[in-house]
């Protein structure tokens, strides 16, 4: 087997998963991004618009476009946040709840398919590696933050 880098394996696998999810989403007249957004919104209480981007690892401008499209499609509605008069809560409409169920079912089927092919020990190892990578990245970000303040190295 040819040596590949860890980042290549992660990226290539995620791209394959994203393609698969987008193909499934097309069957419902949707996209993976919309499905992921539907799953990220609390179906009972709604979700503050400002917390969706960080929760999904998405830039505000990209998320804004998705939310606008979802609102036009009747999947979501924006309501004032009663705890913060300036904030907005994103709520799923009845149609949005229905599409959220479709998205959730696709994700659960994928998880079942992987679990049928991969042992629990290997999955446990996979999640350990993912946790380690995320911890390492978080530590590196802290180290980089400690080294510079407003773009300048402290003396």
What is the DSSP secondary-structure string of 95-134?
A: HHHHHHHHHHHHHHHHHHHHHHHS-HHHHHHHHHHHHHHH
pTM beyond cutoff 0.75: yes
| pLDDT of the residue at 82 | 85
CA Rg value for the chain = 19
Write the CB contacts of 115 (distance below 8 Å, at least 6 apart in sequence): 123
Give 140's pLDDT tier (boundaries 50, 70, 90): confident
| pLDDT of the residue at 145 | 56
Give 147's pLDDT tier (boundaries 50, 70, 90): low
CA 4 to chain centroid: 26
Is residue 151's pLDDT more than 90? no
- pLDDT tens digits, 40-86: 999 999 999 889 988 898 888 999 999 999 999 999 999 998 887 78
């Amino acid at each position: 087997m040819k040596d590949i880098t860890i980042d290549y394996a992660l990226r290539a696998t995620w791209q394959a998963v994203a393609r698969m999810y987008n193909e499934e989403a097309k069957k419902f007249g949707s996209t993976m991004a919309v499905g992921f957004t539907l799953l990220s919104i609390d179906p009972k209480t709604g979700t503050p618009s400002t917390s969706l981007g960080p929760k999904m690892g998405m830039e505000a401008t990209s998320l804004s476009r998705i939310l606008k499209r979802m609102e036009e499609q009747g999947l979501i509605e924006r309501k004032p946040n009663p705890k913060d008069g300036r904030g907005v809560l994103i709520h799923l409409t009845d149609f949005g709840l229905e599409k959220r169920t479709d998205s959730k079912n696709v994700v659960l089927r994928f998880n079942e398919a992987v679990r049928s092919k991969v042992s629990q020990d290997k999955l446990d190892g996979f999640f350990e590696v993912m946790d380690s990578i995320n911890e390492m990245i978080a530590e590196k970000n802290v180290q980089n933050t400690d080294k510079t303040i407003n773009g300048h190295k402290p003396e």
